[in-house]
Amino acid sequence: MNEALSRLLGRSNPPDPGRADRAREIAHLVHISLDVDAQESVIVQQLACAEPGCPPIETKIVVVGAQPQRWTIHAPMSDVDDDTVRHTLTARPEGDNA
């Protein structure tokens, strides 16, 4: 999607080809770390946060399966390293929705 169309649709994330690669890396790490069934999907997105006190950009990780789980990391995906993902998953293995 081009930048003008993104602005028209109200999307706050400018195009970033590296973000798609990083999202796949994080999803793979989640699959391995949580031993997620191959039939379940892992979705990783960078989103704008409009909640008071929330950093402007956050990374969401969602495991879509029989019991969906989600985690929020309050940083842009480019700032989220593998150790941060592992720590988030182990500190809250049930996710943010427990």
Instruction: Look at residue 23 in the predicted model and tell me its pLDDT.
Output: 96
pTM for this prediction = 0.79
Question: Tens digits of per-residue pLDDT, 79-88?
Answer: 999 999 999 9
Residue 5: pLDDT over 50: no
Q: Which amino acid is at 32?
A: I
Q: Answer whether residue 63 is part of any domain.
A: yes
Q: Answer whether residue 87 is part of any domain.
A: yes
Domain range enclosing 21: 17-91
Q: Are 49 and 73 in contact (CB under 8 A)?
A: no
Q: Answer whether residue 68 is part of any domain.
A: yes
Q: Answer whether residue 12 is part of any domain.
A: no
State the DSSP string of 11-78.
------HHHHHHHHHHHHHHHHHHT--TTSEEEEEEEE--STT--SEEEEEEEESSS-EEEEESS-GG
Q: Answer whether residue 43 is part of any domain.
A: yes
Q: Which amino acid is at 57?
A: I
Mean pLDDT of the region 40-63:
91
User: Total domain count for the chain?
Assistant: 1
Instruction: Look at residue 1 in the predicted model and tell me its pLDDT.
Output: 47
Instruction: Look at residue 29 in the predicted model and tell me its pLDDT.
Output: 96
